[in-house]
Amino acid sequence: MNEFLTAGGVGLGNGAVYALLALGFVIIYKSMQVISFAQPAFMMAGAILVSYLSPRFGFWVGALLGVIAIAAVALIVERVAIRPMVGKAVFVIAIITIGVDIVVRVVAGSFVGVDPRSIGDPWGLEAITIGGVRFQERHIAAILAAAIIVTLLFAFFRYTRIGLAMRAAALDQEAAMAQGVSIGTVFAVSWGLAGALAAVAGVFAASGNVIDRSLWMLALVALPVIILGGLDSLGGAVLGGLIIGLVEAVVRTYHSTWFPFLGTNTGSIAPYVLMLLVLLVRPHGLFGTKEVERV
């Protein structure tokens, strides 16, 4: 049982990181109906930037500056590469984001260098024991941070003017424009938010680890998360993130008893297998809106 609870703690911690990333994907999807494949690059860039800033300014200020900087980068990318394409096929825009992802990743990766980098987080690998079960502090921090950010986000969409405008644009872009919503602002804010969320996720993904060029691979797990939760559901992204995180950690813990014939690393493909299984039953994910089909 303790083993299972430990796996659960790890799973929820990673799941919180996935949820933050998935929220970024979903916010962009809701505003432009596009999956931004650039999120993994923003996450990696965020972690690397914070690793440069935190020795100078301390972890908290460094992380904040890093998050703001990545949000700014995302804003610029949106303005330069995405905005001219608005109105074109979504697939084309999605492929452009793949291009952006590659470029940002190469540029960020060139700052990794040969020496191991860390983001200088205050918790490292320390763990606390609750009721005989060890929980790593970085996982608890990730869960807390995710909870606070999710609450703030929902409040933002619920109570602010621009949040309301974004909900309106997500519901019906043309109708929102007719009511005086500036779609450009909505796009910009959604990319900025997504960039910031990716950077926060990057900070927690890199905490306790050494940053290397393969960090972005972790962000790809957010793709099964959003498919599982449904591309346009914020709640689905959070729940999907936690589910995927848990399943991954549990499979990692028990794979030798469950799938002894399948090698050593089944945890890494568990999210994708789960995604395929869910899609067989529900093609729009667990909470996604079913598309209205009309000619």
Partner 1 sequence: MTTIQEPPVADRKPRRPRRARGRTELYTSYGQEMSLLNTRGKQLGVLAIIAIAAYLPLGLEDDMLAVLGGGLVLAIGAIGLNLLTGYAGQVSLGHAFFVGLGAYTAAVLSGDPDGRYLGFGITNPLIWIPAAGAVAAIAGFLVAPLATRLRGLYLAVVTLGLVFIGQYFFLEWRSMSGGAQVGRDAATPILFGIDLTRNGAYSDEQKLFWFFLVVLIIFALLARNIARSKVGRAFSAVRDRDIAAGVMGVELSRYKQIAFVISSFYAGVCGSLLFVLNGHVSAEQFGLLLSVQFIAMVLIGGVATISGSIMGALLIALLPQIAAEVPHLLPFISSSARESPNIFELEIAMYGVLIIAFLLFEPRGLYGIWMRIRTYWKGFPFSY
Site for partner 1, rule CB under 8 A: 34-35, 81, 84-85, 88, 90-92, 94-96, 98-103, 106-107, 109-111, 113-114, 220, 223-224, 226-227, 231, 262-266, 268-269, 272-273, 275-276, 279-280, 283-284, 291, 293-295
Burial of 294 (0-12, 13-18, 19+ CB in 10 A): exposed
- Given the structure tokens 């923003």, which residue do they identify? 42
CB closer to partner 1 out of 60 and 258: 258
DSSP β-bridge partners for residue 129: 134
CB closer to partner 1 out of 81 and 286: 81
Among the listed residues 139, 121, 125, 113, the one whose alpha carbon sits nearest the alpha carbon of residue 212: 113
CB closer to partner 1 out of 134 and 290: 290
Cα–Cα distance, 242 to 247 (Å, whole number): 9
- Given the structure tokens 């909470």, which residue do they identify? 287
Among the listed residues 246, 205, 202, the one whose alpha carbon sits nearest the alpha carbon of residue 67: 202
- Provide, rounded to whole angstroms, the least separation between the CB of residue 42 and partner 1: 14
139's tokens: 């996982």
- Provide, rounded to whole angstroms, the least separation between the CB of residue 109 and partner 1: 7
- Given the structure tokens 């800033």, which residue do they identify? 53
CB closer to partner 1 out of 5 and 103: 103
CB closer to partner 1 out of 5 and 81: 81
1's tokens: 């049982």
CB closer to partner 1 out of 142 and 194: 194
Contact status, residue 285 vs residue 278, Cβ threshold 8 Å? yes
- Provide, rounded to whole angstroms, the least separation between the CB of residue 35 and partner 1: 5
Three-state SS sequence of 136-168:
EHHHHHHHHHHHHHHHHHHHHHHHCHHHHHHHH
- Provide, rounded to whole angstroms, the least separation between the CB of residue 207 and partner 1: 24
CB closer to partner 1 out of 68 and 220: 220
- Given the structure tokens 């809701």, which residue do they identify? 30
- Provide, rounded to whole angstroms, the least separation between the CB of residue 257 and partner 1: 17
